[in-house]
Amino acid sequence: MLLDDEDITAQREHSFFGDVINYFDSAAKFTKYPEGLLDQIKFCNSVYRMKFPVRMGNKIETVVAYRVEHSQHKLPAKGGIRYSTAVTQDEVKALAALMTFKCAVVDVPFGGAKGGVKIDPKKCTELELEHITRRYTAELVKKNFIGPGVDVPAPDYGTGPREMAWIADTYAAFNPGIDAAGCVTGKPVSQGGIRGRTEATGRGVFYGIREAVGVAEDMKKLKLKTGLSGKRVVIQGFGNVGFHSAKFLLEGGAVIVAIGEYEGAVYDPRGIDVEGVLKHRKETGSILNYKKAKNIKRTNDILEIDCDILVPAALENQVHSGNAAKIKAKIVAEAANGPTTPQAEKILEKKDVLILPDLYLNAGGVTVSYFEWLKNLSHVRFGRLGKRHEELINRTVVESIEKAVGKNLDAKAKSILMQGADEEDLVNSGLEETMIQAYHEIRETKSKDKKIPDLRTAAFVNAIDKIATSYLALGIFP
């Protein structure tokens, strides 16, 4: 039996959407916009709650689902769809609001939206999931809550490229046309997806952390050396985001000392082979009993392990008032949405912990979704027009250098120098530029106003400024 919204909300220590509103209000104090404009930016524009019947085995089940459009200050609205029995209207509203502010922080020209379907995908057959996904899409089409210029979903917890392909196909059946593929992102590459999307959020987390630990002034306050090299990292959550965050951090020189999932966690202070844990999990169905690490039965115990960087990459409300005082990390890097409650944040601030907010840090997914959407509307693969021309120019330059010095370059170096950028190269380059630029914008905002207490507030201030500018340009507000 699925719980109603009220039942699940009662089990939580706070309202997730309420937290977002509180963060917004705290940041709004550092702006000078009229109350009416701030209210327009703050609250959700459209909330669609639906119920529809689906055959599950020999029974007909009623599925509860949501789509929330928080803001249409820029179109389309954008946000993932999650499949979970824990989905509530409060959660979906909060995630939609975060998407609005997240897009603004990284200069992605979308409004914020979010969707949720209250099911356990692990207990559904593939056919049942397809029926649910297609019916959910049909419901969105009925109310004009989906379309390449209206509202563009993406994968989230419990969904992936397969579900996005079903959504695109269903939408095209109702709205055939050359731009139909742009109704959703996170699709398989063969069906209009983009290379680099799968690892985009984790790669963005890596870029964000790398920028933060590269600022000598900030690291000195934390009594840490600059750079990723040797930094001890704990990863909580080993799904797509957690795995890729760990993978890229490891490649960047960090040491992954612990990895946690819902079934438990593994720990080794000398460092864990991320690829090895993934392989072990695929073979056994669990990260536990990995031969080269020690088991930790309670996954949330890893939050309290001594480390330099804690990366919560699971769900919201993981760092709370009950465990914040026990956290030993000097940096909490929010790869998940809303993993730190406001009560916990106050405790961490007193301990001088640097929090890299979700509003910024996990924006890699929506950034690359934006690139996919552009690809779908332009109907051309990135790199297709220029790659060979770049290679011709590069080859000419290399050969000229070799001729001038009278010596051939190393074969590997020569190959790299002559290579033209393909789609994935361009996607990763665009993502890296986005994350670097956004981090230093946030940090600069905090540095300019000494009263702004933390990076989260600074990120919200930046988002409010950008969204307010969009509304003021329309002449609606004085």
**219 half-sphere exposure, CB direction, 13 A CA radius:** 16
> Of 453, 474, 477, 476, nearest to 29 (Cα)?
453
Q: What is the dihedral of CA 49, 240, 366, 339, to 10 degrees?
A: 70
Token couple for 88: 């509530």
114 included as an active-site residue? yes
Rounded to whole angstroms, what are the CA distances from 94 to 34, 43, 375, 377, 434? 23, 10, 29, 29, 24
Given the residues 114, 118, 247, 387, select the one marked as catalytic. Answer: 114
466 Cβ neighbours under 8 A, 6+ residues apart = 104, 105, 107
Q: Is the dihedral of CA 195, 198, 199, 201 positive or negative?
A: positive
* Residue 8 neighbours by CB distance under 10 Å: 18
Strands (E), 244-344: 255-261, 264-267, 294-296, 309-312, 331-333
User: Cβ distance 98 to 337 under 8 Å?
Assistant: yes
The residues assigned a catalytic role are: 114
